[in-house]
Amino acid sequence: MVSTRLSRLEGHRRKFMAVIDGTPECQRAVHYAGRRAKNSNGGLILLYVIPEGDFQQWLGVEEIMRAEAREEAEATLAKAAQTVRETIGIEPEMVIREGSAAVQIVGLIEEDRDIAILVLAAGSAKEGPGPLVSSVAGRGSAFPIPVTILPDSLTNEEIDALC
């Protein structure tokens, strides 16, 4: 059970969340979420989840591996945020978590009760729509908020027309 969303209360605003995972389709999800946020006077959260890795090395090696993963996450988020600023004109919130993507997404939704919609984009690979879309879709009705999944064929211009 998810906590009641606060986004419609005074002093709050509805937030759209997109997950940054380095896939080509995540750029479409960010574009759609950013446009929806701007057009509805809402907010945009960009979430990067550092995958659970085998950080069970010697302490020094583990710290270096974690630091490198964190630096990569920060650089990837910074690039996505800059694109949002330049193309949409809003300032996104950036969040970095470590662990299972599905668990971290649900955890952030529970913590930030203004998050009202998760935006994902399906991939066009023959293996399926992508691990994140499959993971969320596999949860079925147990997912705590609405999820918007963009088809792989939409261009930014078509996304703008939908928003």
Query: Can you read off the two tokens belonging to residue 40?
Result: 């509805």
- Domains of the chain by start residue, with CATH: 15-162 (3.40.50.620)
Least trusted range by pLDDT, from 4-13, 16-25, 68-77, 94-103: 4-13
Alpha carbons 156 and 152: distance in angstroms, whole number: 11
Q: How confident is the model at residue 82 (pLDDT cuts 50, 70, 90)?
A: very high
Alpha carbons 121 and 98: distance in angstroms, whole number: 21
pLDDT at 75 over 80: yes
Alpha carbons 109 and 111: distance in angstroms, whole number: 6
Q: Tokens 């946020």 correspond to what residue?
A: 37
Most confident of 84-88, 141-145, 156-160: 84-88
Contacts of 73 (CB under 8 A, 6+ apart): 48, 50, 96
pLDDT at 53 over 60: yes
Average pLDDT, the chain: 85
Indicate the helix (H) or strand (E) that contains 86.
helix 59-87
> What pLDDT sits at residue 72?
94
Which carries the bigger pLDDT value, residue 56 or residue 149? 149
